[in-house]
Amino acid sequence: MRRVLLLVATALAFTQNRRRPRGRRRDVLRHAGADDEFVRNAWATAKANLPAIVTGAWEESAGDDEPGGALANLALVRLPLLALLAYYTQYLVLDGSPLIVDFGFDDVPKVVPPGVVWTIFGLLLLPIL
């Protein structure tokens, strides 16, 4: 019987229509412009202080229409790719061994020539496409 009462009480607690305070929505709307302004300023600062290969802003107005997406591209795509490029270059120069990849088709891993790797990095980082 206790289980049934507990189940009913839980169901009632979750199905009640709880009213939110009226001022909360207005506060969120009032501060939304401040967040947009912060993102615009962060993108403008990054674009002004970082080279185009890092930001991807090869044109003067690049990223201005969607600064949040441009910052996400910078943080989640371009910076990790540049870090990977630096690591690959250091590995290639100091060790002298090429990239070896196992594609899963053969029992023997394949050697990827450095020219292919540099071409892929160039296609991803430079405004070629």
Is 4 within a domain?
Answer: no
pLDDT tens digits, 50-91: 999 999 888 888 888 888 889 999 999 999 999 999 999 998
Mean pLDDT of 109-125: 91
- Residue 119: its pLDDT value, please? 92
Number of domains in the chain: 1
| Residues pairing with 101 in the sheet | 110
Domain residue limits at 121: 21-125
Is 2 within a domain?
Answer: no
The model's pTM is: 0.66
The pairs formed by 111-118 with CB atoms below 8 angstroms and a separation of 24 or more are: 117/88
pLDDT band at 2 (very low <50, low <70, confident <90, very high): low
| Residues pairing with 99 in the sheet | 112
- Residue 81: its pLDDT value, please? 93
